[in-house]
């Protein structure tokens, strides 16, 4: 643990001589000083803090040369697997909780504004428009799920015309863009109506793994962690003058809620997906063979300048 009395993070390491510690301290200060004239003060602040925290980490764990090499190989592998469709560094940030921490910092709590969570790699610009009450499942296999709610601001005023983007994996655990063909399924956008309300058919979310065939997956395996994400439905909601909300809703009762691989779950986003028996009348009169579910998600948007 790094304390203010122990800035180098060497708590309890009595093996380090005074001279050794002085050498290591001196290097940290030299690197920090190398950034002292950075013209942009914010860049100076970030590079200085990065240097101090990085060196504190190296000194705390007393990193060996072999471990340093493994780290470099890991980062190189992340670079090699990254392309226009696959971003392994974002995935690394996700599984380290760095994405969620950045989201927490940048989405300050305002009244009862809906909490944000990770964006994930599977959003696609230009998803089809559906009417209120339409169906975004397309050919995606899964149990039908009726989703309804209202968009409001933090004062409680309804927000008409909010653009609501929704996307989700199918029951086999894949987003449409993960298939080799060019299908569009499990995604769409719609607009809240004059009362701020929205409603649509989707499919009941089920768990699926994050892409685990690269170095991040290997890291999860080596550390005994699962790549599975808790079942969820993605939302991105935009409206003039209001803060864009990127979030999900999660399924109450899902056993993965407390071990989501990217730390995306927040209690306020866990919703009751109420299972419906075959033959139960649907809200819009649609005929559904077999079971279906329904969920309510009321969305509160913070002011844009929050
Ligand atoms: C997702 O929910 O789509 C996702 C989020 C973070 C990493 C991988 C996938
Ligand atoms: Fe997802």
Q: Are residues 22 and 144 both part of a single domain?
A: no
Counting beta carbons within 10 angstroms of the beta carbon of residue 26, is it exposed (0 to 12), middle (13 to 18) or buried (19 or more)? exposed
Same domain, yes or no: 187 and 119: yes
191-215 pLDDT, tens digit per residue, is: 999 999 999 999 999 999 999 999 9
Number of domains within the chain? 2
Residue 41 inside a domain? The answer is yes
C-beta 209 within 6 A of ligand 1: no
Q: Are 167 and 253 found together in one domain?
A: yes
Identify whether residues 172 and 28 lie together within a single domain: no
Domain contains 77: no
Which residue's alpha carbon is at the smallest distance from atom 2 of ligand 1?
A: 120
169: domain CATH number is: 2.60.130.10
Ligand 1: residue whose CA is nearest its atom 1: 120
- Residue 68 within any structural domain of the chain: no
On whether the CB atoms of residues 245 and 236 are closer than 8 A, the answer is yes
| Percent of all residues in the chain with a pLDDT value above 90, rounded to a whole number | 94
Q: pLDDT digits over 247-259, tens only?
A: 999 999 999 999 9
Q: Please indicate, yes or no, whether residues 273 and 149 belong to a single structural domain of this protein.
A: yes
Which of 229, 248, 251 has most ligand 1 atoms within 8 Å of CB, for mutation? 229
Q: Is 150 helix (H, G, I), strand (E, B) or coil?
A: strand
Q: Is the per-residue pLDDT at 7 higher than 80?
A: no
Looking at the structure, tell me whether residues 54 and 168 fall in a common domain.
no
Does any domain span residue 3?
no
pLDDT at 285 > cutoff 60 = yes
Q: How confident is the model at residue 2 (pLDDT cuts 50, 70, 90)?
A: very low
pTM: 0.91
Same domain, 49 and 144: no
* 285 domain-assigned: yes
Q: Looking at the domain assignment, is residue 43 inside a domain?
A: yes
In a shared domain, residues 31 and 163:
no
Indicate if 49 and 119 belong to the same structural domain.
no
pLDDT of residue 293 exceeding 60, the answer is: yes
Q: Is 95 contained in some domain? A: yes
Is the same domain home to 273 and 195?
yes
pLDDT digits (tens, 9 = 90+) for 119-163: 999 999 999 999 999 999 999 999 999 999 999 999 999 999 999
Task: Please tell me whether residues 43 and 157 are part of one structural domain.
Answer: no
The preferred substitution site among 92, 93, 94, 208 for testing ligand 1, maximizing ligand atoms within 8 Å of CB, is: 94
Between CA 91 and CA 103 the distance in angstroms is 15
Q: Is residue 6 part of a domain?
A: no
Q: What number does the ligand 1 atom closest to the CA of 119 have?
A: 5
Domain residue limits at 280: 89-301
Q: If pLDDT is split at 50, 70 and 90, which confidence band does 15 have?
A: confident
The b-or-e profile of 40-70 (16+ CB within 10 A means b, else e) is eeeeeeebbeebbeebbebbbeeeeeeeeee
DSSP 106-126: HS---TTPPPP----S---TT
What average pLDDT is seen over the chain? 95
CB of 121 closer than 6 angstroms to any ligand 1 atom:
yes
Task: Check whether residue 171 and residue 297 sit in a common domain.
Answer: yes
Q: Where are the alpha helices (DSSP H) in the chain?
A: 18-34, 41-61, 65-81, 88-95, 98-106, 215-222
């Amino acid at each position: 643990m790094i304390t203010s009395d122990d800035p180098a993070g060497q708590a309890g390491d009595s093996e380090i001589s005074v001279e050794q510690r002085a050498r290591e301290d001196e290097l940290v200060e030299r690197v920090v000083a190398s950034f002292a004239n950075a013209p942009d003060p914010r860049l100076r602040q970030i590079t200085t803090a990065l240097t101090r925290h990085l060196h504190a980490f190296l000194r705390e764990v007393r990193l060996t040369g072999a471990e340093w090499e493994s780290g470099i190989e890991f980062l190189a592998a992340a670079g090699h697997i990254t392309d226009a469709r696959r971003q392994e560094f974002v995935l690394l940030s996700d599984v380290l909780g760095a994405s969620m921490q950045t989201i927490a910092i940048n989405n300050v709590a305002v009244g009862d504004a809906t909490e944000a969570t990770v964006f994930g790699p599977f959003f696609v610009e230009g998803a089809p428009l559906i009417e209120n009450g339409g169906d975004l499942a397309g050919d995606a296999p899964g149990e039908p799920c009726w989703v309804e709610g209202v968009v409001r601001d933090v004062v409680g005023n309804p927000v008409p015309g909010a653009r609501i983007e929704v996307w989700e994996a199918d029951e086999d655990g894949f987003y449409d863009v993960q298939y080799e063909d060019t299908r569009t399924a499990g995604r769409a956008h719609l607009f809240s109506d004059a009362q701020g309300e929205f409603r649509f058919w989707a499919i009941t979310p089920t768990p699926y793994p994050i892409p685990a065939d690269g170095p991040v997956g290997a890291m999860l395996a080596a550390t005994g962690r699962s790549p599975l994400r808790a079942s969820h439905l993605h939302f991105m909601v935009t409206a003039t003058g209001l803060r864009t909300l990127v979030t999900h809703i999660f399924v109450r009762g899902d056993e993965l809620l407390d071990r989501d691989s990217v730390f995306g779950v927040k209690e306020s986003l866990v919703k009751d997906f109420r299972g419906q028996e075959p033959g139960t009348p649907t809200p819009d009169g649609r005929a559904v063979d077999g079971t279906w579910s329904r969920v309510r998600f009321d969305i509160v948007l913070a002011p844009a300048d929050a």
